[in-house]
Chain A
Amino acid sequence: MSRRLNRREFLKLASCIPLGWSIASLSKTPALQASLPGNRKNIIILVFDAFSAYSLPIYGYGRSTTPNIDRLSKKAIVYHNHFTNGSFTSPGTASLMTGVLPWTHRAFRPNSEVAPAFGSKTIFNVFKNHHRIAYTHNGWAYTLLRQFSQDIDELMPRETLLLNSSDKVIAELFRNDDDIASVSWERAMNTEEDGNAYSLFLSQVVESFKAARTRDIKKLFPRGLPGEGTEKFLLETATDAIWERLSDLSQPFVGYFHLLPPHAPYSTSLEFFNAFKGDHYQAIRKPVDIFGKPDIDTILSTKRTEYDEFILYCDKEFGRFYDRLESSGLLDNTWLILTSDHGELHERGIGGHMTDALYQPLVRVPLIIFEPGRNTGMDIHEYTSAVDILPTMAYLNGEQVPAWTEGSILPPFAPAANISGRNIYLLRAVFNDQYAPIKMASIMLVKENYKLLYHFGLPTMPEDELVRLFDIRSDPEEMNDLSLSAPKIAQDLLAELKNKLKEVNEPYH
């Protein structure tokens, strides 16, 4: 590590930016309400975007990426085989919030909304008696939150916690179309990303202005400020702002907070810059996938290291957030859920998550539930998925578990036998029309020890279809495709998957 900054130094620099209410009252830890009537507790769902379970030591990773999560998970319920239901933000987040699979909610296209029927079938709708609050850095997650906003008491505007004031002006000016207006503004003014912008002159002025405003903070982020394109932010600001707001809220509340890190670009802070450089960590070498590019092992290795260093930054902020919740007493009344919308790949010639290669690092995400009053850890090894979170939280808070949900109540709150042997699905169908039968997609089916991958109709694939089978209990790195050596299992699972597809396609014929 180059240099360690203490918090005081960091905030001193961060205060150059008028971020308002977050920094002024850092030391505020009010005595919060100790108990709530009945089963009702607060719920905080904290989503770190593109946070792969593969990169956490509690799930077996070889680098110490999450010292705080490791420490805190000793008094939490840790789900070791938790899957997302979509491999990128839109479907993964929509499944988490609606409790239904992507082929049901239909938000499987990039930046898509769910089908109108699911606009009011969300976790926010279930908790009508709670104060419901949400924030996200992620534009695609924000598209969904806006669609659900009729059931959200307080949807914090996305630009609230972004650093760039000009983007905020655009978002304010075009409030009913801020997403597309912001995309266009970014393409017009941001030359930093691609070296080109619609604007020839004004872009230079805007870039210079932004650079001047963030010069001091930039020194703390050697790989650039966190955030995509022109939408930069500090994770410290987000966790501070969320904490500040939660500490003032009437209880009970439900908070959904979807923070962009460790999503690419992996812009860790100076404190963790080069933390893993030269640590001799060797990732397992895996063959280049049909969706991968050859000869990019070195690039992927570098990217993995940068990703891991970015996770350190997330972990630090999570630890700080948790400690403040705990010391304020808020955790005594609050379910805290730490999870992600999808994972991230750095193997087989693939970097990122916009891929049809649905390997474990992409589809397996952390799920850690901090139960009020729990002081001992618990490990759950059953297969679970994002759609289970909504029914579980409803059940635990004495709310009616909605009939529409396709998830189940998680163990240990319901017997593990209830979910053993069931099917876990993930759908990626970015080329498929939103309201047409699924004919171009990659689908994952996990059942018992097996994981079936079925790719069909993809323009990026030479064959019409491809089937792969892995035994993820005995071969968690997915090195041996069993589709040829265990054809019976593959055929049975495929038949089951095709039957399911037929069923979900029925309404769209």
Chain B
Amino acid sequence: MAVNFITQKYSRQGLGTLFLTCAFPLHLWTLILVFRDISWLTDRTNLWDAIGVASYGMIFAFIESVLVFLVLVLLGFVIPRWDSDRRIAFLALLILITATWGMIAQLLFIWNVSLPAWAIQYLRTSNHPLRMLYAGALAVVTPTVVLPVYLFIRSKKAVALMHNITERIALLTMFYLCFDLVGLIIIIIRNL
């Protein structure tokens, strides 16, 4: 019954594409950080343990992908009257924007980017620095969400573009899922 309910809103292929689109940024980010970590991990432990850390990381990324996918599928039920492809493309757009901001937030730490001195001074002198900071962040983030969503709703070209992007991403993610499989085998060996 639950399956029927889901298939009313989504095509089987669409669900697959959506899952792979969810998995893409999560795996990509994990891989980037794993490669960044591998040298100090090897220095502090050894190559086999470093590979172990990477393997667990990939599996955690897979689990996170499943969870995010499930949340998105549920979210899809509140989108009215769109066909499955359009719904999938829209959800894929949302996850890609959100993931991009998630990466940017972490990159700011990695690259040690901080606010310019004048902005810090301004916040310091304001009565509600935290509120100002959140308002500033909202002002930056909101257009990056609203604009693509608006274009998506208004333009058929944007929908087609999103569709193309998700198809390409899905193909690439299949490759990442192979890493997950290798990671799983390594974890099993390590836990024997």
Contact = CB atoms under 8 A, between A and B. Distances in A.
B67 A188 contact: no
B103 A187 contact: no
A110 B53 contact: no
Nearest to A178: B191
A110 B45 contact: yes
A198 B52 contact: no
Contact of B56 (A180, A194, A195, A196): A180
B44 A202 contact: no
B110 A187 contact: no
A239 B166 CA distance: 55
Most chain B CB inside 10 Å of its own CB: which residue of A176, A180, A195: A180
A196 B110 contact: yes
A183 B33 CA distance: 14
A225 interface: no
Given A184-B52, A196-B110, 4 more contacts: A111-B45, A188-B61, A198-B30, A201-B102
B24 to A, nearest CB: 11
Interface string B8-51: 00000000000000000110011001100100010111000100
A110 to B, nearest CB: 5
Interface string A163-203: 00000000000111100110111011101001111111110
A175 B61 CA distance: 20
Contacts of A111: 44-45
Interface string B175-192: 000000000000100111
Give the top 3 A-B pairs by smallest Cβ distance, nearest first: A195-B109, A184-B56, A200-B102
A196 B111 CA distance: 11
A198 B60 contact: yes
B187 A202 contact: no
A418 B52 CA distance: 48
A208 to B, nearest CB: 14
Interface of A: 110-111, 174-177, 180-181, 183-185, 187-189, 191, 194-202, 430
B190 A187 contact: no
11 contacts: A110-B44, A110-B45, A111-B45, A174-B190, A177-B52, A180-B49, A180-B53, A188-B60, A199-B30, A200-B25, A202-B67
Q: Is the interface of B mostly helix, strand, loop or mixed?
A: helix
Contact of A191 (B43, B103, B106): B106
A228 to B, nearest CB: 13
Contacts of B30: 188, 198-199
A94 to B, nearest CB: 16
Interface of B: 25-26, 29-30, 33-34, 37, 41, 43-45, 49, 52-57, 60-61, 63-64, 67-68, 98-99, 102-103, 106-110, 187, 190-192
Contacts of A176: 190-192
A197 B29 CA distance: 9
Contacts of A184: 52-57, 60
Contacts of A185: 56, 60
Contacts of A430: 43
A110 B44 CA distance: 5
A184 B53 CA distance: 5
A187 B192 contact: no
Contacts of B191: 174-177
Contacts of B57: 184, 187-188, 198
B176 to A, nearest CB: 13
Contacts of B26: 199-201
Nearest to B59: A184
A350 B11 CA distance: 61
Contact of A200 (B37, B55, B99, B109): B99
B179 to A, nearest CB: 13
A86 to B, nearest CB: 15
Contacts of A198: 29-30, 33-34, 57, 60-61
A199 B64 contact: yes
Contacts of B25: 200
A195 B103 CA distance: 11
A199 B187 contact: no
B68 A201 contact: yes
B37 to A, nearest CB: 7
Contacts of B55: 184
A110 B103 CA distance: 31
A199 B23 CA distance: 11
B103 A200 contact: yes
Contacts of A197: 33, 106
Most chain B CB inside 10 Å of its own CB: which residue of A188, A198, A199: A198
Nearest to B100: A200
A176 B187 CA distance: 10
B190 A177 contact: yes
